[in-house]
């Protein structure tokens, strides 16, 4: 140990270094625990049986439907579109 460096200066370097190391180890353990918990939760959700009373959801939406409108219905719809377009 050099003569011009006091014991307090060495403590001033060693204590923060030890605290930093302890914090890094603690954060690594917390992070590992969170990842383990997420992994267990995902496995638990995948093992839950599906409810047979509910229909399976398809990726696509329902098929398109087409209804032929009468001329009166077309006129009424055009009037409605005009009223909504004008903000009234």
DSSP state letter for 1: -
- Confidence (pTM): 0.44
Domain ranges of the chain: 1-47
Average pLDDT rounded to a whole number, residues 16-23: 96
- State the number of CA atoms in the 13 A half-sphere of 66 facing the CB: 1
Most confident of 4-8, 25-29, 35-39, 51-55: 25-29
Query: What is the full DSSP assignment across 22-74?
Result: HHHHHHHHHHHHHHHHHHHHHHHHHHSPPPTTSPPPPSS-PPP---PPPHHHH
Average pLDDT rounded to a whole number, residues 35-47: 81
């Amino acid at each position: 140990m050099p003569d011009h460096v006091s014991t307090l200066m060495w403590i001033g370097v060693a204590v923060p270094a030890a605290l930093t190391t302890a914090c890094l180890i603690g954060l690594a353990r917390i992070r590992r625990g969170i990842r383990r918990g997420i992994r267990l939760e995902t496995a638990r959700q995948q093992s839950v049986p599906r409810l047979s009373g509910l229909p399976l959801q398809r990726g696509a939406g329902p098929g398109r439907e087409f209804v032929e409108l009468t001329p009166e219905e077309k006129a009424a719809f055009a009037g409605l579109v005009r009223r909504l377009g004008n903000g009234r």
